[in-house]
Structure 1
Amino acid sequence: MKPYIDKISELIRPKGIRHEIHSFDSGAFMVDIWIKNDFYCIQLFENKFGISKVTEENGFCTIPDKTYTEWENFKTELEKVINE
């Protein structure tokens, strides 16, 4: 999943989006991103891509709001989020 972390960074870095990358011994990765006043958590695990918008109402959950098995489908969703 590490190559996808690099691809995510390539998408968000040029936009100056604040982000933090976390890796876990399990091989999973998490990317926290802040866009304006919104906080999103991207999860990469078991060849799946997940994205969640974290709010005070729903808080953080280990189960993503949306999960994708194909990079291109996930990338389309991520581009929607970062281009809002």
Structure 2
Amino acid sequence: MKSYIDKISKLLKPKEIRHEIHSFDSGVFMVDIWINNEFYCIQLFDNKFGISKVTEGIDFSTIPDKTYIHWKDFEMELKKILVTL
């Protein structure tokens, strides 16, 4: 999953998007992303990709809003979010 973290970083860095990468002993990675006034959490776990929009009205959950099995599907979703810049 580490190689996918590098791919995510390559998508974010050119746009100077603030992000933080977290790794856990379980092998799970999380990427926190701040786009304008919105906060997203990306989760990489069990060969899956998850993404959640975190808002004040919704408690943070370890279960992603959307889950993808294939990188290309996840990448398309992330790029849709990045287009809002």
Q: Normalising by structure 2, what TM-score?
A: 0.97
Aligned to 2:65: 65
Q: Percent of aligned pairs with the same residue? A: 71
In the alignment, structure 1 segments of 5+ residues that lack a partner are: none
Aligned residues: 84
Deviations 1:18-57 (A, max 9, x none): 0000000000000000000000000000000000000011
Q: CA deviation at 1:59?
A: 2.2
How many angstroms apart in 2 are the aligned matches of 1:58 and 1:83? 24
Which one-letter code corresponds to 2:30 in the other structure? M
Which one-letter code corresponds to 1:76 in the other structure? M
Aligned to 1:43: 43
Aligned to 1:6: 6
How many angstroms apart in 2 are the aligned matches of 1:42 and 1:20? 10
Regions of 4+ moved over 3 Å: none
RMSD: 0.4
Q: Normalising by structure 1, what TM-score?
A: 0.98
Q: CA deviation at 1:77?
A: 0.1
Alignment partner of 1:27 is 2:48: no
- Which region of structure 1 is more displaced relative to structure 2, 30-39 or 54-63? 54-63
